[in-house]
């Protein structure tokens, strides 16, 4: 808590985050529900003292179902958390064991009921599909179980095998077998169709929400809004003027996303292509570094124009509304079609389509989204 406070004070006192208006605070990237509600409240108070928190701020907290009870949830709500993201993943005990999860399906249901009693009106459930051993019927059952709980938001992720994880080692050793691609695609299509029929807007590749309940924080990432990450392993992004020195203190899990109208407006114009940095991941090393200098940067990167143009495209395509061609031209000084002539072949292949002034993934493009993103090399 002391280190988080010191890092916040350093960042809030200097450009580009000084005097920023905060539209979203996200406690995530681990198990922030292990913090006490008092600690969460203290962090929110510190942000409010040093930055400007908008009245409609979205304050999200990630939590695992087995770590929650009614009293803790009520305390989190009283502390200022107004959006809860529950890592349900599946309602099938066998698949939860494959994923290394420690909760039961009943834990998930109990956590949702307790959250409602605690006053949470904005709940998001995470589901994972294409888990080894899962078939289409199991995917259907998970979606139906989630809908029975009537969340405002569903994040439906396809299982990703990360390096050096137990799941990846089990796959490489042949102890588990990944789901076939055709079945994975069938699961994705079912999830999208079923949630749409239930009134959820499919607004981002993996995200579905009741109208007006889209995740403000995640949407900020896709739109290139600057964000400040505090804590061990946290990531940050900020614009900087071309030719300037690195952002002060950039030698660096809640995250504070400044409002695009206050900070990002300049980023699209004169503020260049951006700087991003990652904090050291080890909590002990992080605390020691912040005590010494106020920051704990492990690595940083200045974006080139080519990187910024490429990322603008694939991040924009993550939203189902599509990529704004006029915004691209205004930012980079050339038409989208001239910068990326390959998009015409993607359109002819049925992976992209124009929807007015926006370029968007087609239904087929959604199934092959990673391949589409990879084609955007400037």
Determine how β-strand 275-279 pairs with β-strand 297-302: antiparallel
- Do 90 and 103 meet the contact criterion of CB atoms below 8 Å apart? no
pLDDT at 257 over 50: no
pLDDT at 323 over 90: yes
Tens-digit pLDDT profile for residues 282-294: 999 999 999 999 9
Number of domains making up the chain: 2
Which of 170, 188, 218 is a domain's end point? 218
Is 250 domain-assigned? no
Assess whether 206 and 328 both reside in one domain.
no
Tens-digit pLDDT profile for residues 110-162: 999 999 999 999 999 999 999 999 999 999 999 999 999 999 999 999 999 98
Assess whether 328 and 214 both reside in one domain.
no
Peptide linkage before 222 cis (omega within 30 of 0): no
Assess whether 311 and 212 both reside in one domain.
no
Average pLDDT estimate for 304-313? 91
CATH of residue 58: 3.20.20.70
What is the domain range of residue 76?
Answer: 2-218
Backbone angles phi, psi at 287, to 5 degrees: -60, -40
Backbone angles phi, psi at 368, to 5 degrees: -120, 35
- Do 323 and 360 meet the contact criterion of CB atoms below 8 Å apart? yes
Which of 198, 218, 238 is a domain's end point? 218
Is 331 domain-assigned? yes
Quick one: angle between helices 136-148 and 181-197, nearest 10?
A: 30
Percent of the chain with pLDDT over 70: 91
Determine how β-strand 52-63 pairs with β-strand 21-27: parallel
The pLDDT score that the predictor gives to residue 378 is 60
Is 279 domain-assigned? no
Residues in the chain: 378
Assess whether 330 and 190 both reside in one domain.
no
Average pLDDT estimate for 314-334? 93
Tens-digit pLDDT profile for residues 332-377: 899 999 999 999 999 999 999 999 999 999 999 999 998 999 988 7
Is 132 domain-assigned? yes
Coil, helix or strand at residue 116:
helix
For 228, the enclosing helix (H) or strand (E) is strand 228-230
Is 268 domain-assigned? no
pLDDT band at 41 (very low <50, low <70, confident <90, very high): very high
Is 99 domain-assigned? yes
Of 75 and 20, the structure prediction assigns the larger pLDDT to 75
pLDDT at 254 over 90: no
Assess whether 180 and 318 both reside in one domain.
no
Residue 34 CB contacts under 8 Å (≥ 6 apart), including other chains: 67
- Do 154 and 196 meet the contact criterion of CB atoms below 8 Å apart? no
pLDDT at 265 over 70: no
Assess whether 29 and 139 both reside in one domain.
yes
Assess whether 10 and 136 both reside in one domain.
yes
pLDDT band at 239 (very low <50, low <70, confident <90, very high): low
Query: Partners of 62 in the beta sheet?
Result: 85
Is 288 domain-assigned? no
Is 21 domain-assigned? yes
CATH of residue 314: 1.10.10.10
Assess whether 19 and 162 both reside in one domain.
yes
Tens-digit pLDDT profile for residues 177-233: 999 999 999 999 999 999 999 999 999 999 999 999 999 999 998 988 899 999 999
Which of 218, 247, 270 is a domain's end point? 218
Q: Which of 174, 190, 172 is nearest to 182 (CA)?
A: 190
Tens-digit pLDDT profile for residues 42-87: 999 999 999 999 999 999 999 999 978 999 999 999 999 999 999 9
For 276, the enclosing helix (H) or strand (E) is strand 275-279
Q: Rounded to 10 degrees, what is the CA torsion of 288, 278, 33, 289?
A: 10
- Do 350 and 364 meet the contact criterion of CB atoms below 8 Å apart? yes
pLDDT at 27 over 60: yes
Assess whether 44 and 184 both reside in one domain.
yes
């Amino acid at each position: 808590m002391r280190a988080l406070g010191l890092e916040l004070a350093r960042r809030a006192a200097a450009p580009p985050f000084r005097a920023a208006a905060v539209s979203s605070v996200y406690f995530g990237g681990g198990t922030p529900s292990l913090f006490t509600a008092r600690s969460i409240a203290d962090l929110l108070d510190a942000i409010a003292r040093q930055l400007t928190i908008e009245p409609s701020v979205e304050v999200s907290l990630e939590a695992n179902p087995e770590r929650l009870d009614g009293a803790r949830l009520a305390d989190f709500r009283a502390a200022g958390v107004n959006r809860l993201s529950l890592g349900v993943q599946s309602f099938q005990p066998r698949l939860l064991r494959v994923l290394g999860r420690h909760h039961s399906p009943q834990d998930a249901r109990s956590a949702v009921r307790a959250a409602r009693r605690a006053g949470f009106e904005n709940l998001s459930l995470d589901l994972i599909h294409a888990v080894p051993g899962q078939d289409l019927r199991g995917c259907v059952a998970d979606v139906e179980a989630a809908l029975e709980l009537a969340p405002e938001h569903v994040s439906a992720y396809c299982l990703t095998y990360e390096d050096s994880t137990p799941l990846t080692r089990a796959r490489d050793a042949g102890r588990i077998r990944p789901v076939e691609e055709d079945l994975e695609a069938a699961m994705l299509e079912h999830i999208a169709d079923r949630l749409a029929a239930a009134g959820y807007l499919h607004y981002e590749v993996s995200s579905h929400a009741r109208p007006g309940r889209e995740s403000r924080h995640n949407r900020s990432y896709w739109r290139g809004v600057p964000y400040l990450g505090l804590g061990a392993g946290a990531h940050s992004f900020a614009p900087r003027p071309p030719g300037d020195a690195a952002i002060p203190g950039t030698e660096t899990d809640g995250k504070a996303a400044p409002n695009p109208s206050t900070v990002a407006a300049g980023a699209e114009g004169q503020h260049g292509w951006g700087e991003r940095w990652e904090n050291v991941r080890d909590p002990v090393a992080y605390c020691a570094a912040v005590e010494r200098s106020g920051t704990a940067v492990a690595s940083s990167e200045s974006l080139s124009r080519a990187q910024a143009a490429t990322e603008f495209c694939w991040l924009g395509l993550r939203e189902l509304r599509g990529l704004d061609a006029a915004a691209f031209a205004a930012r980079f000084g050339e038409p989208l079609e001239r910068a990326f002539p390959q998009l015409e072949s993607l359109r002819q292949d049925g992976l992209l389509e124009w929807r007015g002034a926006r370029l968007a993934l087609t239904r087929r493009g959604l199934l092959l989204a990673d391949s589409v993103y990879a084609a955007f090399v400037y």
